[in-house]
């Protein structure tokens, strides 16, 4: 079992829809959770981080964390074509380092 | 804004060469990281450092070493480059443990 698993994708949504990206992790002692966006040929850029159970909203983005279920998600409301990218989930665990998922590729169709 | 600068965007080297990849951050971050990213394998941690002159092995350290003589600079060294080290190399820094990482633009390294 991978330490961090994401929807295999690719995920395609129409413009204006809600995109839902999911991530599960195996280390129950994990403390910090991150979502990065990576455009093709570019490096990852941080879009959200969350440390506590519940929801955290930033503009069109909402991160949701459920430590009991070892699950973190990212919702993108009013999806735009510019949101088309690969989204990486990262988890900071007890080993003192971040582990990244393989990513989910999102395409938003106009 | 945090600036993480990698010395080269593209680099071509020969097998057996000793290769140096340099990374500099300008935000006085404690932690620095080196990753490689390959299609189908995701982002994998090679080495990281929590402080000057400190280093820790990541998930795939074989064939690599690192140097952190100054807080702002973290160097990745390929001791004897091999073709299976052809990859995109990404450097990142963070203020402290468990905090968000900021990535450089990456170095696409080809070993011929």
Percent of chain B having pLDDT more than 70? 98
Chain B 33-62, CB below 8 Å of chain A: which residues? 33, 40-43, 45, 48, 50, 56, 58
| Distance between A4 CA and the closest CA of chain B, angstroms | 11
Q: Over chain A (110 residues), what is each successive 10-residue block's mean pLDDT? A: 85 96 93 96 95 96 96 97 97 86 95
Instruction: Give the separation between CA B106 and CA B36, rounded to whole angstroms.
Output: 9
Concatenated DSSP letters of chain B: ---EEES-SEEEE-TT--EEEEEEESS--SEEEEEEEETTTEEEEEEEESSTT--EE-S--TTEEEEEEETTEEEEEESS--GGG-EEEEEEEESSTTS--EE---EEEEE-
pLDDT at A84: 97
The vertex-B2 CA angle with A108 and B4, nearest 5°, equals 90
pLDDT at A7: 84
**Partner residue opposite A43 with nearest CB, options B50, B97, B103:** B103
- CB contacts of B50 in chain A (<8 Å) are 96
Would you say B34 and B47 are in contact if contact means Cβ atoms under 8 Å apart?
yes
**Partner residue opposite B98 with nearest CB, options A32, A42, A102:** A32
- CB contacts of A101 in chain B (<8 Å) are 42
Average pLDDT of chain B to the nearest whole number: 94
- Residues of A in CB contact (< 8 Å) with B are 31-32, 34, 42-46, 49, 51, 88, 90, 92, 96-103
pLDDT at B80: 97
pLDDT at B40: 83
Convert the pLDDT of each residue in B38-91 to its tens digit: 988 889 999 999 999 889 999 999 999 999 999 999 999 999 999 999 999 999
Average pLDDT over residues B2-25: 95
Element (H, E) at A87: strand A85-92
């Amino acid at each position: 079992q991978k330490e961090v698993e994401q929807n295999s994708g690719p995920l395609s949504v129409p413009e204006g829809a809600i995109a839902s990206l999911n991530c599960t992790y195996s280390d129950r002692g994990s403390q910090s959770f991150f979502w990065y966006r990576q455009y093709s040929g570019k490096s990852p850029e941080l879009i959200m981080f969350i440390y506590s159970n519940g929801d955290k909203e930033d503009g069109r983005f909402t991160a949701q964390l459920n430590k009991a279920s070892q699950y973190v998600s990212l919702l993108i409301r009013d999806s735009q074509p510019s949101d088309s990218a690969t989204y990486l989930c990262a988890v900071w665990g007890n080993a003192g380092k971040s582990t990244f998922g393989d990513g989910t590729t999102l395409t938003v169709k106009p | 804004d945090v600036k993480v600068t990698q010395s080269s965007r593209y680099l071509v080297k020969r097998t057996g060469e000793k290769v140096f990849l340099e990374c500099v951050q300008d935000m006085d971050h404690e932690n620095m990281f080196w990753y490689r990213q390959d299609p189908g394998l995701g982002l994998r941690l090679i080495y990281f450092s929590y402080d000057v002159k400190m280093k820790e092995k990541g998930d795939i350290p074989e064939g690599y070493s690192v140097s952190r003589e100054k807080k702002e600079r973290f160097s990745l060294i390929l001791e004897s480059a091999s073709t299976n080290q052809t990859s995109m190399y990404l450097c990142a820094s963070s203020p402290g443990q468990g905090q968000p990482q900021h990535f450089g633009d990456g170095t696409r390294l080809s070993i011929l």
